[in-house]
Amino acid sequence: MGGADAQLGWAPAHPEGAPRRTPATHARLIRRLCQLAFAVFALAALDGSAVRADAASEARVRYERALKFYDDGVYDAALVELTRAYELHPSYRLIYNIAQTRVAMRDYAGAIEAFSRYLREGAGQLSSERVTSVRAQLSELQQRVGRLTIETDVPDAEVSVDDVVVGSSPLTAAVVVNAGVRRVTVRHPDYPARSQRASIAGGEQQRLSLPLRPNVRDDAAQAQAAVKPALPASEPVAPVSVPAPTPPRSPIPIVPRPSELPNETDRTFAWIATGVTSALAAGAIVLGVMALNQNSALKELRGQPGQDVAAFNDDRAQMNRVAAIADGLAVATLVAAGATTWLWLRDGGSRSDTAAAQPRTAPRLGVSLAAGGARLAGEF
């Protein structure tokens, strides 16, 4: 039977002496494989939870650092730390802080985008009061931004506003930008970049076109310059003399330098001095006549019976004051007359070529008081 069984292919599955795998052996093998798989998954879970714990811890540290930067007014550093914290531990609460930092930086367009994302990611978890407050802030920020539609004639060109990439052409929607003067740049590897400034007011919409392809005239000029035949190297080229251009005649008269201007200041001062001298002389004459008249009147009253001595003394004191003022004006008149004479002589000498060539001495003027008046002495 054994030979027949072997011929029919019914030979035992295991050779003689080899261990047989019973159902109990298969069960133990399956159980060990399950235990091994569970251990692997447990280790992976523990490792993932540890990584998440480390990320949350680092996000907390960066959040605290951002608060310090914000309190110090370093808003750009605070924004970077908040962005890193959100990348490590995404939370819609961090987006609200990012929006507030954007407002402090006066980046109202960025604040609008952050507040809108905060409402989307926090939907169903925000209170109605918070939603109403954020929407009110969005409505106020809309008045501080404008919308700019940017067009270009080259597809897949990079479009940036103030060095911040906003998309590639063609842009399907208007770009929200901060009100003010914005610099728009369009770049493509096959064309020269082009930039242009745009002034946009709050709540305003503008359309800006920045073509990158050159104009048809420029293409034709370049093609004509490319096909222009060049002169053979063996043929000498005669130099062309170009006459020097004559300067155009200016309708504006040439103004002389300050050193070449005629000196009219001295004559003006001379006339002013003449007027002052005349006024001083007139005042001295009038007061002198008044003093003389009062002196004559006092002489007639002196010695008359019934004369009021106090009134007489007052009149005489007044007469002495008038006489003193007249004498002062006379002295001032003499001084002014000397100065006037010197000014007139100097002005006349400056206009004389011979006198200008001779060295001039500084004028000397002196006043001396004498009995009964004053004496003026001068040298010019």
Q: Which residues contact 175 (CB under 8 A, 6 or more apart)?
A: 147, 148, 149, 150, 159, 161, 166, 167
Which is it for strands 175-178 and 373-379: parallel, antiparallel or unpaired? Answer: unpaired
**Please, are residues 150 and 171 in contact by the beta-carbon 8 Å criterion?**
yes
**Please, are residues 112 and 137 in contact by the beta-carbon 8 Å criterion?**
no
Helix (H, G, I), strand (E, B) or coil at 276: helix
pLDDT exceeds 60 at position 232: no
Rounded to an integer, the average pLDDT of 261-284 is 70
Phi, psi values for residue 155, rounded to 5°: -75, 160
pLDDT per position as a tens digit, 346-359? 755 545 444 444 44
Looking at the domain that runs over 144-218, which CATH code has it been given? 2.60.40
Left, alpha or beta for 362 (phi > 0: left; psi -120 to 50: alpha)?
Answer: beta
Fold of 51-142: 1.25.40
Position 40 scores a pLDDT of 47
The rounded distance, in Å, linking the Cα atoms of 279 and 271 is: 12
The one-letter amino acid code at 148 reads L
Locate the domains of the chain by residue range. Answer: 51-142, 144-218, 263-379
Q: Which residue, 111, 247, 115, is CA-closest to 179?
A: 111
Position 152 scores a pLDDT of 92
Confidence of residue 257 (pLDDT cuts 50, 70, 90): very low
pLDDT per position as a tens digit, 199-227? 999 889 999 999 998 764 555 555 565 55
Mutual orientation of helices 92-104 and 128-141 as an angle, nearest 10°? 30
pLDDT per position as a tens digit, 79-105? 999 999 999 999 999 999 999 999 999
pLDDT exceeds 60 at position 45: no
pLDDT exceeds 60 at position 61: yes
Q: Which residue has the higher pLDDT, 282 or 36?
A: 282
Q: Which residue has the higher pLDDT, 322 or 238?
A: 322
